[in-house]
Amino acid sequence: MSGLPFDQLEGEIWYDGAYVPWAEAKLHVLSHGLHYGSSVFEGERAYGGQIFKSEEHTQRLLASAREVGFDIPWSEEQINTAKEDLLKRMNLVDAYIRPVAWRGSEMMGISAQKNTIHLAIAAWEWPSYFDPEQRLKGLRLDMAQYRRPDPATAPFKAKAAGLYMICTISKHEAERKGYADAMMLDYRGQVAEATGANVFFIKDGQIHTPKPDCFLDGITRRTVIDLAKARGLEVIERAIMPEELEDFEQCFLTGTAAEVTPVAEIGPYSFEVGGITKSLMADYDAAVRPQSTAPAAAVA
């Protein structure tokens, strides 16, 4: 990354079916997606020129749009092809890909039945989401003020822009205190997720993770569960109360940007960067980079 603001990067962006110069990929200030959060997006990564689980991400993008009440007027095949072509046009090998769809500006108000649905895809070089040195030591997480909402109050299965407002607030507050991120509870007071990643805990060789019944069931989350089971590790999806964190030995986050990242601290609770976490980090790296060596045997 160059350190430039994102609107000043160079290259092209796929925008409504055409490639436009990066600086010209604009939308009007009265777009419905900006004012009312009627926007959905994906975060994807390419390793060695190949987008990891591209089809799954596109399927979720289309499903997210339906969850918030609109259909994206491009097919799954068209979107997948556009992502692949964009990587080549941008000459990117290891990159982050951001498809985003939103309601346009034909109507301005809660109702937007006649608004055009737009779709753009951008790609850029992306380093580690967290500081590499900090990541290896394990992240320090604060406890977030806001909670993931009741499923009856928000379309939690959608990767929708509006659902991330409380995540930004929580992450900013955590960073002001010197933490890397924040752990969010759900509306019941149970452990949910970090601001942009799912969470796992380890105790006595077993892996525990919150049941995704009011927050996004991440693609990386599901990938890591499969990797753990392939090692013969038991994965238990269940309700986890915050007071249980005292008894867990290891903790890690998963997400497209975060990949598999160890956690050393959540509020008053501490964790070690242990063998199972390190093994799953290596397994995930091998899964996304086929040229990597096979994973070593799991250790506690």
Rounded average pLDDT over 5-16 = 95
Question: Which residues, 6+ apart, have CB-to-CB distance to 263 below 8 Å?
Answer: 138, 139, 140, 141, 199, 251, 252, 253, 271
pLDDT band at 119 (very low <50, low <70, confident <90, very high): very high
Alpha-carbon distance of 203 to 208, in angstroms, equals: 8
- The string of pLDDT tens digits covering residues 188-216 is 999 999 999 999 999 999 999 999 999 99
The secondary structure of residue 287, as a DSSP letter, is H
pTM: 0.92
Report strand pairing: 39-41 vs 95-103: antiparallel
SS3 of 19, please? strand
Are the beta carbons of 251 and 193 closer than 8 angstroms?
no
What percent of the chain has pLDDT above 90? Answer: 91
- CATH code, residues 132-288: 3.20.10.10
CATH numeric code, 6-124:
3.30.470.10
Residue 297 has a pLDDT of 45
Query: Which residue has 């799953």 as its token pair?
Result: 280
> 3-state class of 241 per DSSP?
coil
Catalytic residues: 159
Per-residue pLDDT, 137:
87
Kindly report, residue by residue over 222-253, the tens digit of the pLDDT: 999 999 999 999 999 999 999 999 999 999 99
Q: Given a cut of 60, is residue 295 above it in pLDDT? A: no
- Domain ranges for the chain, please list them: 6-124, 132-288
Contact by Cβ (8 Å): 263, 273: no
26-53 pLDDT per residue, tens: 999 999 999 999 999 999 999 999 999 9
